[in-house]
Amino acid sequence: MFMIRIYLFFIYLFLLSSGCKRIAAHKEKGIVSFSPSLTQMVYALGKGKQINCVTKYDEWPPEVRKLPKVGGFLDISMENILRCNPSVVLLTEMHGELAEKLKSMSIPHLELRTRNISEVLSSIRKLSVHLGAEVRGRELVADLEKQLKPKKCKSKKRFLITLGRSAPSLKNLVGAGAGTYLDELGKLAGGENVLESRMFAYPSIGMESLVQLNPDVIIDIVVSDGSSKDWDMVPFRKKPQIEIVVENHVYTPGIRMGKTLETFHKILCP
């Protein structure tokens, strides 16, 4: 449960929340997306005009900001979903309860996973078939696979990718563990994850753990207001390189992972 809570926070709650408002009813049927990652896939497949509604966390591509919002993960409005007149509702594995409600109401829905690179590629393929864009789907997958080739690095730095903290403090800090897309991208960038042996995908990281892990580089993913000076309170044996990352493509697993890989490579192999 803790791992799921952290994952949800990472994918959805990095952006500021706002109240869920009643939206205008759509006359034409269209896609309702409950994941920024899946929204971006739809646009990349050339089907963005079919989207009627998205979540309040969707920020990219820019045109989604003008679309009606059906809420977020914690304030899902069934009334708004119905008013969006869905041809299909796109969900992730975290939307189990919503999937059951949609099933009971005979509303078409499609569950797609994006926890790691393999799942992202698989979801692109499945979504392209569902939307009748198989050719474009194959092109996207091939392009992404090409972008995600391992990078060369003179030395392998030990990295820690962190997220979730309440800047400027280090409270609520978690790290990206083995098997997550952030872990995989860090390794492809030429680094070695200090959380390789941890059991959870996104384990909680306290002050003692930070000292024991002793990474060479900390990639600190924050929304805003984060500073490398926030880490001065940690009594590291050897002060690591601290890199603050705020770009939204980093915390959205999907079609822009190649861009995230480039960001990590510049940090780990300058």
The residue type found at 59 is: E
Q: Evaluate whether residue 207 is within a structural domain.
A: yes
Q: Evaluate whether residue 2 is within a structural domain.
A: no
Assign 220 to helix, strand or coil. strand
CATH at 174: 3.40.50.1980
Q: What is the pLDDT of residue 73?
A: 67
Name the stretches of the chain with pLDDT < 70. 1-25, 27, 73-74
Angle value at C-alpha 263, between 117 and 207, nearest 5 degrees: 85
> Domain check: are 187 and 138 in the same one?
no
User: How far is the C-alpha of 66 from the C-alpha of 54, rounded, in Å?
Assistant: 10
Q: Beta-strand (E) ranges in the chain?
A: 30-33, 51-53, 86-91, 109-111, 158-163, 174-175, 192-193, 217-221, 241-245
Q: What is the pLDDT of residue 21?
A: 57
Buried/exposed code over 57-74 (b: 16+ C-beta within 10 A; e: otherwise): bbbbeeebeebbbbbbbe
In tens, the pLDDT along 45-98 reads 999 999 999 998 899 999 999 999 987 766 788 888 999 999 999 999 888 889
> Domain check: are 18 and 134 in the same one?
yes
Q: What is the pLDDT of residue 24?
A: 64
> Domain check: are 236 and 140 in the same one?
no
> Domain check: are 28 and 141 in the same one?
yes
Q: Evaluate whether residue 152 is within a structural domain.
A: no
> Domain check: are 131 and 171 in the same one?
no
> Domain check: are 135 and 181 in the same one?
no
Tell me the residue range of the domain where 263 lies: 158-268
Q: What is the pLDDT of residue 259?
A: 97
> Domain check: are 213 and 130 in the same one?
no
Q: Evaluate whether residue 133 is within a structural domain.
A: yes
Q: Evaluate whether residue 55 is within a structural domain.
A: yes
Q: Which of 100, 125, 147 is the last residue of a domain?
A: 147
Q: Which of 118, 147, 176 is the last residue of a domain?
A: 147
The residue type found at 58 is: D
> Domain check: are 29 and 96 in the same one?
yes
Counting beta carbons within 10 angstroms of the beta carbon of residue 176, is it exposed (0 to 12), middle (13 to 18) or buried (19 or more)?
Answer: buried
Q: What are phi and psi of 246, to 5 degrees?
A: -120, -5
> Domain check: are 22 and 124 in the same one?
yes
Q: Evaluate whether residue 1 is within a structural domain.
A: no
Q: Which of 147, 175, 200 is the last residue of a domain?
A: 147
Read off the pTM.
0.88
Query: From residue 185, how far is each of 50, 113, 117, 149 by CA, in Å?
Result: 31, 17, 8, 10
- How many domains, in total, are found in the chain? 2
CA dihedral 189, 191, 194, 200 (to 10 degrees): 30
Q: Evaluate whether residue 96 is within a structural domain.
A: yes
Taking Cα atoms as reference points, which of 120, 156, 159, 116 lies closest to residue 245?
159
> Domain check: are 96 and 117 in the same one?
yes
Beta bridge partners of 88: 31
Q: What is the pLDDT of residue 96?
A: 86
